[in-house]
Amino acid sequence: MTEHLTLSIDAMGGDNAPGMVIEGIEASLAILSSVNFLLYGDEAQLAPLLKKHPQVERVSEIRHTTDVVTNEEKVRTALREGRNSSMRLAIDAVGSGEAAGVISAGNTGALMATAKFVLKTLPGIDRPAIAAYFPTERGDSVMLDLGANIDCDADNLVQFAVMGEVFARNVLGRKNPSIGILNVGVEDLKGNDAVRTAATMLQESSLPIKYYGFIEGDDIGAGTVDVIVTDGFTGNIALKTAEGTAKMFGAFLRNAMTSSMMSKFGALLARGALEKFKMQVDPRRYNGAMFLGLNGICIKSHGGTDAIGFANAIHVAVELITNSFNEDIKKDYALLSEQRADIKKVSG
């Protein structure tokens, strides 16, 4: 990294904030250099923490505010009454250009709504989507939407496809990423109106994207496509079902492995392999959820994350910025708008 970056941090967001946030920044410094942090939050809590973490103090600046958006807060209240909240001010720093990206582990709904209000969406994009990496047998895929939009029509799904494609090219580095729409079967007739119409739009459009077709739930883990497009209701449940299945497998495996002396000994010998396995599926590696479609970089870290998870969310932000996602977004403006016009022609 040659460029110098400034990131704004909602230091009060997340179950274990602000301690976890400061430790997360410290952990991120093991890899990052040339990054400065604007820490939005309560100086009375942050200053003593920085004293304990001089490495973080050296690259950080506290921007004092005592207002916090809680997890229980409704989106409307957060928008109306949260103007001086650590979350809002951290987003404002991206809006004003002072920071290149913002990271928060706070209230997802409030973060999405505030980011949309402050940063606005890209031309041609009606609704931003939450996207995340998904580990697969063939490497990482990207999946969207994961809960920002409960009800989606075909237009929304097509926009997600376009955003996901740009993301997979710019950030995952795929040359010609394939796109699939999540459905209950692969035949054209399967599913609801939204997925069927979106599929037709993608098939018939002149968009320069590689539309694979419908995929089923088990295609996610198999890595059948690079970009998985779905509505926020299904996407959120699929993501969490996968997380839950992973946890269940971990529990089964632990039980099975410790059930006899012999297998305990075996487990000890296989520990290195198991550690590698755990690394591969560590949810903290996939902790940062990106808000795509916004005119700015905004990363949501899991509310219950620890420092390593938060550090990873910082890395995701830096990756998006240093892969010139921001500039490419501007370049893609025109493309997206043209595509949008194309799509409108198809759907209209």
Q: Output the DSSP codes for 215-255.
A: E-HHHHHHT--SEEE--HHHHHHHHHHHHHHHHHHHHHHHH
Nearest approach, Cβ of residue 5 and its own copies (Å):
33
Q: Which is nearer to its own copies, 76 or 345 (CB)?
A: 76
Report how far residue 77's alpha carbon sits from residue 252's, in angstroms, rounded to the nearest whole number.
Answer: 43
Is 336 in contact with 165 (CB distance < 8 Å)?
no
Report how far residue 19's alpha carbon sits from residue 328's, in angstroms, rounded to the nearest whole number.
Answer: 35
Query: Is the Cα torsion angle 129, 122, 89, 316 positive or negative in sign?
Result: positive
Nearest approach, Cβ of residue 320 and its own copies (Å):
25
CA-based Rg of the chain, rounded to a whole angstrom?
21
| Stretch (H or E) spanning 103 | strand 101-104
Nearest approach, Cβ of residue 145 and its own copies (Å):
11
Q: Are strands 129-136 and 289-292 parallel, antiparallel or unpaired?
A: antiparallel
Report how far residue 6's alpha carbon sits from residue 102's, in angstroms, rounded to the nearest whole number.
Answer: 9
Nearest approach, Cβ of residue 51 and its own copies (Å):
38
Chain residues binding its own copies by CB under 8 A are 74, 135-137, 147, 150-151, 182-184, 189, 191-192, 216-222, 230, 232-234, 236-249, 251-253, 255-260, 262-263, 265-274, 276-277, 280-281
Nearest approach, Cβ of residue 114 and its own copies (Å):
18
Sequence letter at residue 68: V
Q: Which is nearer to its own copies, 31 or 150 (CB)?
A: 150
Q: Which is nearer to its own copies, 84 or 245 (CB)?
A: 245
Q: Which is nearer to its own copies, 239 or 329 (CB)?
A: 239
Report how far residue 336's alpha carbon sits from residue 159's, in angstroms, rounded to the nearest whole number.
Answer: 9
Nearest approach, Cβ of residue 224 and its own copies (Å):
9
Nearest approach, Cβ of residue 309 and its own copies (Å):
16
Nearest approach, Cβ of residue 161 and its own copies (Å):
17
Q: Which is nearer to its own copies, 282 or 319 (CB)?
A: 282
Q: Which is nearer to its own copies, 205 or 230 (CB)?
A: 230
Nearest approach, Cβ of residue 149 and its own copies (Å):
10
Residue of 57, 37, 23, 46 whose CA lies nearest to 307: 23
Q: Are strands 297-300 and 289-292 parallel, antiparallel or unpaired?
A: antiparallel
Q: Which is nearer to its own copies, 30 or 262 (CB)?
A: 262
Give the Å distances, CA to CA, from 292 to 132, 210, 254: 10, 20, 37
Q: Residue 121 class from Cβ within 10 Å (0-12 exposed, 13-18 middle, 19+ buried)?
A: middle
Q: Which is nearer to its own copies, 257 or 335 (CB)?
A: 257
Is 7 in contact with 14 (CB distance < 8 Å)?
no
Q: Which is nearer to its own copies, 1 or 237 (CB)?
A: 237
